[in-house]
Chains A and B, each alone.
Chain A
Amino acid sequence: MALLEVKNLGISFGGLRAVDDFHMEIEQGQLYGLIGPNGAGKTTVFNLLTGVYEPTDGYIMLDGENITGKKTIEINKHGIARTFQNIRLFSELTVLDNVKVGLHNHYKYSTLTGILRLPRYYKVEKEMNERAMELLKVFDLDKEADYKASNLPYGKQRKLEIARALATDPKLLLLDEPAAGMNPNETLELMKTIRFVRDKFHMTILLIEHDMKLVSGICEKLTVLNFGQVLTEGPTAEVLKDPKVITAYLGE
């Protein structure tokens, strides 16, 4: 059974049909790409998958559970974590604390324990620090743990966002244009990181991307979206050769 199964998904904003009859199946451990021209509805699909918007039709199944219409927090608890097209970090918090916020639902103590500094506070905080540093090390951010997140260079902010998403221990990781604004070197490094994340955490990853080098380099399967509808889907190499896709991108 597929990890993520989406059928007949659609949403209308007033008279505008932003996404229509969207479908997608992602297997456990797959690196899946969602591509399409600007305004095709890719980010809207992400927002539907993460509960930012409630779909008007269709259903979303994650690991056999129906998560259609659930709230963002619930969906995160079910196992979908994401990054954003325009980076959304907790800018005033330190790099370490950003990741620790991601660990929020996995390492718990009550507010009162925190205020009274009971032994459990120290124990859980220590575990959190260790786990967060472990994640930061994976992304080579451990030396910057005490920096304010907004003081990181752009490429590292992107990485921190991925680290924070992984801290919630998801089954499926959604990356919204991870290479946006990166230079070719940074993109190459990012490709390595994404592959590494998949292999190390056995993560299933769905990403939106415009950088065709990145898409063809790491994605195993693609879905192409155009005007809110699925244009085609299949293995990366085949899809990218499809004349329909080329037309959608470049015009007649």
Chain B
Amino acid sequence: MKKMSKQLRSNLITYGIVVAAYIIVTFCMQAGMVSSLLKGLLVPLCVYVILAISLNLTVGILGELSLGHAGFMCAGAFSSALFSKITADVIQPAGLRFFLALLIGTVVAAIFGLLIGIPVLRLKGDYLAIVTLAFGEIIKNVVNVVFLGRDSAGFHMSTKDSISLGLEPGGQVLIKGPQGITGTPNDSTFLIGIILILVTLFIVINLINSRTGRAIMAIRDNRIAAESVGIDITKYKLLAFSVSAALAGTAGVLYAHNLSTLIALPKNFGYNMSIMILVFVVLGGIGNIRGSIIAAVVLTLLPEMLRALNDYRMLIYAVVLIATMIFTSSQGGQEIQERMKAFFKRRSKAEEGK
């Protein structure tokens, strides 16, 4: 029972950090201490945090390496942006429309997660990583060649160009292939981002600490033993993978509604993005949810904060990455951590003694 309360405390700290971050940033904004550059980063920060938490579910809890997380984000982003564009004038108020867009983006990504998961989760380790990587690239490239238009006769689709859609005069092109979707309503705000982070945390933390989570972690720790006590391997692997994909889709919705033009580039939905999310997860600690949040925030802000150093900033970024890895995983680094912990313990005990 003591353990339960310890767990609960740790979870409350995680929620607390997010809420505190929101309060501090809001306060600073009112005091005029936040630069416009940083203001523009707030929603993307929330996007990255959600992505990091959701990928940690696959990598840390399920124990499978996925390199296609940006693909699920892409699916969520484009499906929801398309929905919002079509219904921008039909569904009012905007809040309700955005809520529906969130649901659609999440569900579409979950369906993709399920469809990809069924064949892919039979693979293990490197093979799974390669296939998910390919999937991410495929989604991005498919989105880049799709043209979708609408006129009084309904929807038209083409993979060539917008002229071959054969729209009636007055028809509207919704997806313009490599030019993506333009004119998505900007519904995302920092507050919505924070709420979505909290919801993501709620789902992931509660999932981990439940019967389902135990089954998923049992599969991670020893598949054969899990099978021998009657755990349905396929079911729980798929479940974890789809939930992870769905949450990436949620992040995609947030991302899409923060931009007026949504284009699938290698930078935002490609391999680079998937790797970056993985870096957040690895650096924050595999399986450590709070660590992913902190890593995502620090590693997103760091290059921006170092902008003044222009040419040297990526150099420093790399040095910080390597230093953190050495500090957290090498023997020497762990010894220093232990000593620091002991030091703080002693100090808090001394204070209690007073």
Contact = CB atoms under 8 A, between A and B. Distances in A.
Given A90-B218, A92-B221, A146-B3, A111 B239 contact: yes
A116 B202 CA distance: 9
B215 interface: yes
Interface string B226-250: 1111111100000100000000000
A89 interface: yes
B71 interface: no
Contact of A104 (B202, B225, B229): B229
B222 A165 contact: no
Contact of A115 (B206, B227, B229, B232): B206
B196 to A, nearest CB: 15
B210 interface: yes
B215 to A, nearest CB: 6
Nearest to A109: B211
A164 B229 contact: yes
A96 B4 CA distance: 12
Contacts of B231: 73, 101, 104
Given A104-B215, A109-B211, A76 B229 contact: yes
Interface stretch (A5-13, A21-29, A31-39, A77-85): A77-85
A93 B211 contact: no
Nearest to B220: A92
Interface string A235-249: 000000000000000
Contacts of B217: 90, 92-93, 97
A91 interface: yes
B212 interface: yes
Interface in A58-99: 72-73, 76-77, 81-82, 84, 88-94, 96-97
Nearest to A77: B230
A91 B228 contact: no
A50 B229 CA distance: 11
A204 interface: no
A186 to B, nearest CB: 22
B39 interface: no
B68 interface: no
A91 B222 contact: yes
Main secondary structure of the interface of B (DSSP, over half): helix
Contacts of B228: 50, 72, 76, 81-82, 84, 88, 165
Interface in A167-211: 167-168
B243 to A, nearest CB: 9
Contacts of B227: 72-73, 76
Contacts of A121: 210
Contacts of A111: 207, 210-212, 239
A108 B211 CA distance: 8
Contacts of A92: 217, 220-221, 287
B210 A114 contact: yes
Interface string B1-29: 01100000000000000000000000000
Contacts of A73: 227, 230-233
A60 B202 CA distance: 46
Contact of B221 (A90, A115, A125, A128): A90
Nearest to A102: B229
Given A76-B230, A93-B214, A100-B214, A88 B225 contact: yes
B224 interface: yes
A180 to B, nearest CB: 16
B224 A115 contact: no
Given A90-B225, A93-B221, A104-B229, 12 more contacts: A76-B229, A77-B230, A84-B224, A88-B224, A88-B225, A97-B217, A101-B229, A102-B229, A104-B214, A115-B202, A124-B211, A145-B3
10 contacts: A73-B232, A84-B224, A89-B225, A92-B287, A104-B229, A104-B231, A105-B230, A111-B207, A111-B239, A164-B229
